[in-house]
Amino acid sequence: MAKILIRAMVLPMTGLGDFYPEGEIVLDGENILSVGERGSAPAGFVPDRILDYPNDVFLPGLINSHTHAAMTLLRSYADDLPLMPWLETKIWPFENKMSAQDIYWGTALGLCEMIRSGTTAMLDMYIAMEQVAEAVLAAGTRAVLARGMIGNAPNGQQAFRENIELLKNFHQLGDKRITVMFGPHAPYTCSGEFLQQVKAEADHYGVGINIHVAETRDEVAIIQKYQGLTPVQWLDSLGLFGGHIAAAHCVYLTPEDMEILARKNVCVTHNPESNMKLNSGTAPVPALLAQGVTVGLGTDGASSNNNLDMFGEMRTASLLQKLQVGCTALPAYQVLEMATVGGAKVLGLDKVGQLLPGYKADLISVNLDQPHFYPRFSIPGHLVYSAHAGDVRTVIVNGKIIMEERNLLTLDEQKICSEVETRAKRIAAELS
Query: In the bound complex, what is the minimum distance in angstroms from residue 161's beta carbon to its own copies?
Result: 32
Query: In the bound complex, what is the minimum distance in angstroms from residue 249's beta carbon to its own copies?
Result: 14
- Nearest-5° angle of CA 268, CA 271, CA 276? 140
Query: In the bound complex, what is the minimum distance in angstroms from residue 76's beta carbon to its own copies?
Result: 3
CB-wise, 244 or 423, nearer to its own copies? 423
CB-wise, 274 or 340, nearer to its own copies? 274
The length of the chain in residues reads 432
Query: In the bound complex, what is the minimum distance in angstroms from residue 313's beta carbon to its own copies?
Result: 11
Taking CB atoms within 8 Å and a gap of at least 24, the contacts of 193-200 are 194/149, 194/151, 194/152, 194/156, 194/160, 195/151, 195/235, 195/238, 195/240, 196/238, 196/239, 196/240, 197/160, 198/149, 198/151, 198/160, 198/240, 199/238, 199/239, 199/240, 199/243
CB-wise, 141 or 316, nearer to its own copies? 316
CB-wise, 42 or 54, nearer to its own copies? 54
Q: What are phi and psi of 350, to 5 degrees?
A: -90, 145
Dihedral of the CA atoms 146, 207, 176, 160 (nearest 10)? Answer: -40
Query: In the bound complex, what is the minimum distance in angstroms from residue 404's beta carbon to its own copies?
Result: 17
CB-wise, 184 or 331, nearer to its own copies? 331
Query: In the bound complex, what is the minimum distance in angstroms from residue 98's beta carbon to its own copies?
Result: 13
CB-wise, 71 or 246, nearer to its own copies? 71
CB-wise, 306 or 340, nearer to its own copies? 306
CB 156 within 8 A of CB 194: yes
Helices (H) and strands (E) in the chain, counts: 17, 16
C-alpha–C-alpha distance, residues 403 and 382, integer Å: 22
C-alpha–C-alpha distance, residues 331 and 343, integer Å: 17
Position 38, amino acid: R
Position 208, amino acid: G
Query: In the bound complex, what is the minimum distance in angstroms from residue 80's beta carbon to its own copies?
Result: 4
C-alpha–C-alpha distance, residues 241 and 260, integer Å: 9
CB 24 within 8 A of CB 40: yes
